């Protein structure tokens, strides 16, 4: 059984989960893309090519890649897993009893590969039979469907595998997502981790999100969670990750002795800086890239440490850069800011995920080639940047770090 363990942000990256988006992107239109958290419609073929380039770059650098649709299809081969996934995705609460039956029997006809594709890419009313549901006298929802309605909503943000689940040391958090457009993604990751042969008997813990319950406001998204190493974890308080979510994850990590300190940093609430990794990412033992307009030495931040009886002790700290040095276990940190032209260049490059690079070993990162000012600055600090195209993929507002979920990474 291969190791399931993520010991750091920058140690040698061994295995990741990616999602190559196709059908999900084909469903994006100008009228639904806002709701689906994309800023535009994409050129699907081009986005696929860019993703292949990212995938191949990882393989060339000795990283083993697993694709979400393959893992999900293999998971669905287990009848218990298939039943569980369909119970979740075709529930009566979602459709009403009659329509739930119709949708379920439609989905059950697919082979596992096609079912995986449809669960992630969505099913539109026109894919089934528009007449069938409209004329079902017992389904009120059926009567209300329009020609462009979805029966199973597409999940184009599965592209950002970092967010839906995140591995922290010897376990995983299957994340309760903040935005309705992403909540169903978690069902697929839960199914994979519970039933897929690679994970089913794996030696790992569940830190958070495993129970089938409403987590209300206690949301976490993996883009906010950075595993610094040496038992330290840095988490953004953001548009997506709440203080109560962080506290719950910290308690669970501490209860198991998996972490000894969690630092939570306030990022405010904005779409541009929706996750910590859109404004701050670790590049090397002592180097981070950051977007100073959102996160800087004055950022409000708190240290959570284990207290008595399972409680956490919270204390506010001063000087965020000193805290980063403390977390990284170094004397001082080198901070590489976004951009390098003027303030406009910095804002443009942050928007295009200049800070959202994927470190594959200390001092070596993968990032979008378009962010040349930030790349230049990183190179001047001795960081090796492997540039990939991302003009289409970037319209979903995520870069290489967001598009990868490490499941095996070395300690530092």
CA 35 to chain centre: 18
Classify 348 as helix, strand or coil: helix
**Stretch of 4-12, 157-165, 204-212, 316-324 lying at the interface with ligand CIR (CB under 6 A):** 157-165
The reply to whether 239 sits near ligand CIR by the rule CB under 6 A is no
For residue 203, how many other CB atoms are within 10 A of its CB?
10
> What DSSP string runs through 203-258?
S-EEEE--SSS--TT----GGGEEEEETTEEEEEE-SS--HHHHHHHHHHHHHTTS
| CA atoms of 249 and 262, how far apart (whole Å) | 9
C-alpha radius of gyration, the chain, whole number? 21
For residue 185, how many other CB atoms are within 10 A of its CB?
24
| Least distance CB 158 / ligand CIR (angstroms) | 10
**Active-site residue numbers?**
402
| Least distance CB 114 / ligand CIR (angstroms) | 25
- By beta-carbon proximity to ligand CIR, the closer residue of 363 and 399 is 399
Residue in this structure with the two tokens 């369909």, named with its chain if needed: 86
| Least distance CB 381 / ligand CIR (angstroms) | 23
- By beta-carbon proximity to ligand CIR, the closer residue of 124 and 225 is 225
- By beta-carbon proximity to ligand CIR, the closer residue of 76 and 346 is 346
From the list 280, 291, 269, the residue with the least C-alpha distance to 348 is 291
Helix (H) / strand (E) element for 357: namely none
Binder to ligand CIR among 5, 54, 95, 160 (CB under 6 A)?
A: 160
Q: Give the count of residues interacting with ligand CIR (CB under 6 A).
A: 16
Say what the alpha-carbon torsion angle 408, 58, 71, 240 is, to the nearest 10 degrees.
70
Residue in this structure with the two tokens 């994979």, named with its chain if needed: 192
**Binding marks (x or -) toward ligand CIR, 214..233, rule CB under 6 A?**
---------x----------
Angle at 19 between CA 410 and CA 222, to 5 degrees: 55
**Binding marks (x or -) toward ligand CIR, 168..197, rule CB under 6 A?**
--------------x---------------
- By beta-carbon proximity to ligand CIR, the closer residue of 217 and 310 is 217
Asked if residue 122 lies in contact with residue 153, where contact means CB atoms within 8 angstroms, the answer is yes
| Least distance CB 101 / ligand CIR (angstroms) | 32
Max CA pair span of the chain? 71
DSSP state of 346: H
Angle at 86 between CA 115 and CA 110, to 5 degrees: 25
Binder to ligand CIR among 9, 102, 153, 277 (CB under 6 A)?
A: 277
- By beta-carbon proximity to ligand CIR, the closer residue of 20 and 162 is 162
What burial letters (b/e) apply to 327-346, b meaning 16+ CB within 10 Å? bbeeeebbbbbbbbeeeebb
**Stretch of 7-15, 69-77, 155-163, 382-390 lying at the interface with ligand CIR (CB under 6 A):** 155-163
The reply to whether 37 sits near ligand CIR by the rule CB under 6 A is yes
**Stretch of 22-30, 159-167, 211-219, 225-233 lying at the interface with ligand CIR (CB under 6 A):** 159-167
**Binding marks (x or -) toward ligand CIR, 278..317, rule CB under 6 A?**
x---------------------------------------
For residue 4, how many other CB atoms are within 10 A of its CB?
19
From the list 302, 283, 258, 264, the residue with the least C-alpha distance to 367 is 283
| Least distance CB 96 / ligand CIR (angstroms) | 29
Asked if residue 273 lies in contact with residue 284, where contact means CB atoms within 8 angstroms, the answer is no
- By beta-carbon proximity to ligand CIR, the closer residue of 38 and 84 is 38
**Binding marks (x or -) toward ligand CIR, 386..405, rule CB under 6 A?**
----------xxx---x---
- By beta-carbon proximity to ligand CIR, the closer residue of 87 and 347 is 347
Binder to ligand CIR among 55, 190, 275, 301 (CB under 6 A)?
A: 275
Binder to ligand CIR among 15, 19, 51, 162 (CB under 6 A)?
A: 162
- By beta-carbon proximity to ligand CIR, the closer residue of 361 and 397 is 397
The reply to whether 122 sits near ligand CIR by the rule CB under 6 A is no
From the list 72, 112, 88, the residue with the least C-alpha distance to 199 is 72
Closest residue to ligand CIR, Cβ-based? 223
Binding stretches for ligand CIR (CB under 6 A): 37-38, 157, 160, 162-163, 182, 223, 274-275, 277-278, 396-398, 402
């Amino acid at each position: 059984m291969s190791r399931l363990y993520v010991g750091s942000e920058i140690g040698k990256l061994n295995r990741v989960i990616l999602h190559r988006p196709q059908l999900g992107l084909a469903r994006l239109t100008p009228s639904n893309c806002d709701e689906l958290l994309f800023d535009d419609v994409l050129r699907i073929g081009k986005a696929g090519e860019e993703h292949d380039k990212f995938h191949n770059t990882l393989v060339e650098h000795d990283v083993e890649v697993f694709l979400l649709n393959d893992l999900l299809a293999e998971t669905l081969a287990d009848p218990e897993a298939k039943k569980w996934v369909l119970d979740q995705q075709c529930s009566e609460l979602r459709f009403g009893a009659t329509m739930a039956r119709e949708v379920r029997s439609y989905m059950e006809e697919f082979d596992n590969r096609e079912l995986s594709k449809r669960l992630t890419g969505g099913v539109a009313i026109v894919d089934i039979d528009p007449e069938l549901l409209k004329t079902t006298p017992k389904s009120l929802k059926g009567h209300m469907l329009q020609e462009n309605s979805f029966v199973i909503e597409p999940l184009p943000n599965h592209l950002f595998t970092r967010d839906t689940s995140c591995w922290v040391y010897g376990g995983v958090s299957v994340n309760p997502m903040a935005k309705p457009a992403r909540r169903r993604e978690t069902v697929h990751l839960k199914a994979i981790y519970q039933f897929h042969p690679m994970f089913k008997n794996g030696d790992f813990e569940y830190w958070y999100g495993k129970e089938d319950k409403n987590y209300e406001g206690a949301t976490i998204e993996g883009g906010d969670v950075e595993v610094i190493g040496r038992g330290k974890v840095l988490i953004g308080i953001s548009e997506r990750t709440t203080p109560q979510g962080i506290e719950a994850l910290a308690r669970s990590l501490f209860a198991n002795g998996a972490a000894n300190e969690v630092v939570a940093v306030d990022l405010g609430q904005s779409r541009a800086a929706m996750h910590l990794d859109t404004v701050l990412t670790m590049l090397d033992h002592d180097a981070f890239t950051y977007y100073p307009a959102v996160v800087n030495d004055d950022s409000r931040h708190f240290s959570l440490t284990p207290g008595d009886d399972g409680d956490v002790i919270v204390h506010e700290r001063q000087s965020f850069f000193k805290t980063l040095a403390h977390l990284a276990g170094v004397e001082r940190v080198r901070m590489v800011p976004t951009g390098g032209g003027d303030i406009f260049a910095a804002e443009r490059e942050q928007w295009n995920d200049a800070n959202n690079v994927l470190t594959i070993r200390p001092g070596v990162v993968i990032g979008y080639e378009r962010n040349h000012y930030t790349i230049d600055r990183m190179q001047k600090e001795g960081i090796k940047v492997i540039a990939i195209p991302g003009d289409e993929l970037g319209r979903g507002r995520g870069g290489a770090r967001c598009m990868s979920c490490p499941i095996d990474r070395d300690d530092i």
